Amino acid sequence: MATACGGTSTSSPTSSDTGTAGAAAATVTIASMNYGAPVTVPPGARIAVTNNDSVEHSVTSDAAGTFTVDVESNDKGTFTAPSAPGEYAFHCKYHPAMHGTLIVK
């Protein structure tokens, strides 16, 4: 179960920059106000976010301070997955009905 939002990141768990160095382990693609299927990555992996919508979104962990990234409309960003394995629920801070899941293992 998932919904839409997007962003960018650095090596810290919470960030928002449009880094492009290194290949991402996975991509969260936001389209039609939806995040798509849950994404599975290894701990500390770089995750790309592609926002195909015409509005800004975020990928913000439900647990405060774990990760967040804002992605402008029709733009891309990255963030770093948490180092601890587990399932991390996230949402869009701009569109509260949008929800997704990041699986770290």
CATH superfamily to which 26-104 belongs? Cupredoxins -  blue copper proteins (2.60.40.420)
Q: What are the residue ranges spanned by the domains of the chain?
A: 26-104
DSSP label at 13?
A: S
Average pLDDT over residues 50-79: 98
Q: For the segment 71-87, what is each residue's pLDDT rounded down to a tens digit?
A: 999 999 999 999 999 99
**17 pLDDT more than 60:** no
C-alpha to C-alpha distances, 50 to 64, 77, 79, 85, nearest whole angstrom: 22, 7, 12, 24
pLDDT at residue 23, as a whole number = 86
Phi, psi of 85 (to 5 degrees): -60, 150
Residue 34 β-bridge partners: 31
- Give the gyration radius of the chain's Cα atoms: 12
pTM across the whole model: 0.79
Query: Taking a C-beta distance cutoff of 8 angstroms, is the pair 5, 93 a contact?
Result: yes
Q: Whose structure tokens read 């994404």?
A: 39
**10 pLDDT more than 50:** no
For residues 38-56, b (16+ Cβ closer than 10 Å) or e, as one string?
A: ebebeeebbbbbbbbbeeb
pLDDT at residue 15, as a whole number = 41
